[in-house]
């Protein structure tokens, strides 16, 4: 599908810009006209993390005139394995400011606009309105649906990417010419069903593979060249080193871009996607203990004054990184399929924990449903334990 250029050309390129972009200018499909369009373009990148890092760096190098960055987080040491726009000296800094400094080091001709806010229904339309195209570098479903719906309502193209472990996906959602994100995923997965990168991990270099595809698509849209990934999903398997495409059709019944849309304004996306299931929230309501409560319980168990089973529901690789003393590993999946239940002791209290509390709440719902009424889980999980009890231990 050949689409018209998204932006008009800038009046001119300076002598310095001609030198800088010379390898673009001698490509017939780009040329002087295409590079002027990039100079005149305004692109917003949502997130300056794994996908946002390579996307921002290559958008800057390509000569996109205005780059917006939506980011409210700070740089953590665990980010540096994949978020290459940041460095060791940036730990603790605003990611938005760190990303801006790197962008300007790559290309001082870029105008960088920072939006150091958490993107939500109250600010997304105002922020998006000033840009021609949105590149999504987020890693959660609530923000993806928010970005998609805002782009549909504003008639803007949405360049999407997703990464997990060794797998990546990319597409262009533009309701003016093809399907939107909801056409592919009408409903979010059940809470807790799909682990995040923080829970499941991601190969650092995979971010570069998918982020570079996103930038390639952005350049094609801005300059009006090639065949953009509108109506196509690119699926990348890094372990097998394969790329394949899946066709996506516009859903006439889509809630936001269909013939009779039911979503005509932005909604509460956190509620729409949910962080944990209703059953998990209900199970955890009066059955959540703090890490300090757990420390007291462990001390009492050492003195023979208490007895319980502390179960870590994370994955084996996470358990190898850091553990709470006295815990045993039974991954969440074994609770969800029921296989763990038969081996649980009936004469001891069950205490569950995970990394931050979400997975242990889901497992708690299963355990309580199986008749272990006094079971509890640890709010904040192992990260809270390290932060408050054993700060000398590593986090991830």
Q: Report the alpha-carbon distance of residue 107 to residue 228 in Å, rounded.
A: 26
Chain mean position to CA 325 = 31
Order the strands of the 328-329 sheet from edge to edge.
288-289, 376-378, 349-353, 308-312, 328-329
As a whole number of angstroms, the distance between CA 137 and CA 84 comes to: 14
d(CA 188, CA 149): 14
For 293, the 3-state DSSP assignment is helix
**Residue 367 · residue 341 · CB < 8 Å:** yes
Burial of 312 (0-12, 13-18, 19+ CB in 10 A): buried
Please name the residue that has the structure tokens 């195209």.
Answer: 133
* Residue 197 a catalytic site member: yes
DSSP, res 202: B
| Secondary structure element (H or E) that encloses residue 378, with its range | strand 376-378
Q: Distance between CA atoms of 134 and 117, rounded to whole angstroms?
A: 16
What phi and psi values does residue 186 have, to the nearest 5 degrees?
-60, -35
CA-based nearest residue to 367, from 334, 327, 335: 335
Query: Strands, DSSP E only, in 190-255?
Result: 232-237, 242-247
Distance CA 283, CA 14 (A): 64
DSSP state at residue 161: E
Inter-residue contact 141 to 273 (CB < 8 Å): yes
Q: Are strands 328-329 and 308-312 parallel, antiparallel or unpaired?
A: parallel
**Smallest Cα–Cα separation from 134: which of 120, 155, 117, 114?**
155
Given 45, 151, 180, 197, the catalytic residue: 197
Sequence-ordered strand ranges (E) for 15-143 = 42-46, 66-70, 111-115, 133-136
| Residues pairing with 244 in the sheet | 235
Residues identified as active-site: 197, 354
């Amino acid at each position: 599908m050949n689409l018209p250029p998204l932006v008009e050309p800038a009046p001119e390129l300076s002598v310095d810009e001609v030198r800088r972009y010379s390898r673009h200018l001698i490509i017939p499909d780009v040329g002087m006209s295409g590079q002027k369009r990039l100079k005149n373009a305004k692109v917003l990148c949502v997130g300056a993390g794994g996908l946002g890092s390579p996307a921002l760096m290559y958008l800057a190098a390509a000569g996109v005139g205005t780059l917006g960055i939506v980011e409210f987080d700070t740089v953590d040491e665990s980010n540096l394995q994949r978020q290459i726009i940041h460095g060791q000296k940036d730990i603790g800094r605003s990611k938005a400011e760190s990303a801006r400094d790197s962008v300007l080091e790559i290309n001082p001709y870029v105008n960088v606009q920072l939006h150091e806010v958490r993107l939500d229904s109250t600010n997304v339309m105002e922020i998006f309105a000033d840009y021609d195209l949105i590149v999504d570098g987020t890693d959660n479903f609530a923000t993806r649906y928010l970005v998609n719906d805002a782009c549909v309502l504003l008639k803007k193209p949405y360049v999407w990417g997703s990464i997990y472990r060794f797998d990546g996906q990319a597409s262009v959602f533009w309701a003016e010419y093809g399907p939107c994100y909801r056409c592919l995923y009408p409903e979010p997965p059940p809470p807790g069903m799909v682990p995040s990168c923080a829970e499941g991990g991601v190969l650092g270099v995979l971010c570069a593979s998918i982020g570079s595809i996103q930038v390639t698509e952005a350049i094609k849209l801005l300059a009006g060249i090639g065949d953009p990934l509108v109506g196509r999903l690119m699926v990348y398997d890094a372990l097998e080193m394969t790329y394949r495409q899946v066709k996506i059709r516009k859903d006439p019944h889509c809630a936001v871009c269909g013939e009779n849309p039911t979503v005509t304004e932005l909604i509460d996306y956190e509620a729409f996607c949910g962080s944990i299931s209703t059953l998990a929230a209900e199970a955890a309501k009066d059955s959540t203990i703090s890490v300090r409560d757990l420390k007291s319980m462990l001390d009492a168990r050492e003195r023979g004054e208490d007895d319980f089973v502390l179960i870590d529901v994370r994955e084996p690789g996470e358990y190898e990184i850091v553990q709470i003393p006295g815990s045993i590993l039974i991954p969440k999946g074994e609770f969800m399929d029921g296989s763990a239940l038969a081996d649980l002791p009936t004469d001891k209290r069950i205490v569950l924990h995970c990394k931050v509390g979400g997975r242990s709440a889901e497992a708690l719902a299963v355990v309580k449903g199986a008749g272990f009424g006094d079971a509890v889980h640890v709010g904040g999980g192992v990260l809270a334990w390290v932060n408050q009890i054993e700060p000398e231990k590593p986090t991830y």
